[in-house]
Amino acid sequence: MKKPKNWWYVWSKSLGEKASSCNKTSDKVAVVRTIIFATYLITNCFIVAGVIRQWNRKTEVYIQVESESVVPYVTSFDRKVNKTLEFE
């Protein structure tokens, strides 16, 4: 088995197919793919950290409402109907 040239060669091959026949252009594309991969990795780490932080957290929220201040919602029945299920 042939030994790989260096770490950049292995990393760029792992990112996907070579972008062009020019090595400089392919390296630039590999850098962009690496940046995209790094942003995905960082975002995923923040999501996992948030899930771990909230794991087994038992918070209870109590809401107290005065019954005099709550006004019931009543719909009006003065709608005119042309046909079944058709309103103006």
Q: Domain ranges in the chain? A: 20-53
User: What is residue 3's predicted lDDT score, i.e. its pLDDT?
Assistant: 66
Instruction: Quickly state the pLDDT bin for 84 (edges 50, 70, 90).
Output: low
The per-residue pLDDT for 83 is 61
Query: How far from each other are the two terminal CA atoms of the chain, in whole angstroms?
Result: 78
Q: Give the C-alpha distances (Å, rounded to integers) separating 16 from 29, 37, 40, 73.
A: 10, 12, 16, 60
- Dihedral angle computed from the Cα positions of residues 82, 83, 85 and 88, in that order, rounded to the nearest 10 degrees: -20
Q: How far apart are CA 14 and CA 7, in angstroms?
A: 11
Q: Which pLDDT score, from 0 to 100, does residue 46 have?
A: 96
pTM: 0.54
- Residue 18 near residue 26 (C-beta atoms within 8 A): yes
